[in-house]
Amino acid sequence: MFCDVSVHSLKCMQCIPETSLNCTNTEVDCPAGECLSLGVTTYTEGMKVNHINLKYCSAPGHCPSGSINYGMVASSYDSECCGTDLCNAQDMPDRPLVSSKNGQKCFTCTGEHCSSTVDCLGDENRCIKSRVITDGTTMTLKGCASEKLCGTSQSQVVLPNIYTSSVCCEGSLCNHAEHSRLPLSLVLMAFSSLILTL
């Protein structure tokens, strides 16, 4: 008598935009994780710019939600994790930004300097500092973040020629002021790249 000891690998939908906001769902094996569906809504000066849906295999229990507020550019994240085959096929709806200030402030980058401050909103109880390196240019982004989006310091290559690193700290203005060149067009590009690091 033989015993079947084969292990069933979880199948997840994968959809990660590369050069546009759209992508195609494909099935992938997820041997040690969960299926994740993530919706990211980006705002510039409070106005919605776009909404991106991402789907992929994620580490167990890693379902990011909350918001990151870099001042002029902010984004809200909402996700669902699940553990059955292709359970992440549905898109996530927009998650509006919370507009109520919570009393915490963090440094943000305006123009060429990172000495301005931004009021943190809703559950943004951490300050964040992110660096994006693309084609030899380093950009710094600073602002407020929800604790659930922070975790530990993270660094990775998210797209060809784009490397990011982010770290959060606790306490008002803990992400320190410094000089940085940051045109708005680069902020938007860098911010969209950071989406994939969460």
DSSP letters spanning 112-172: TEEEEEEEEETT--EEEEEEEEETTEEEEEEEEE-GGGT-S-EEEEEETTEEEEEEEESST
Q: Distance between alpha carbon 42 and the CA centroid of its chain, in Å?
A: 10
pLDDT tens digits, 150-192: 864 454 444 555 667 888 999 999 998 654 444 444 444 455 5
Say what the pLDDT of residue 110 is: 78
pLDDT over 90 (residue 61):
no
pLDDT over 90 (residue 19):
no
Partners of 129 in the beta sheet? 142, 167
Partners of 76 in the beta sheet? 41, 67
pLDDT tens digits, 132-148: 777 777 788 899 999 98
Mean pLDDT over each residue of the chain, to the nearest integer: 80
pLDDT tens digits, 74-99: 999 999 999 999 999 999 988 888 88
Which pTM value belongs to this model?
0.78
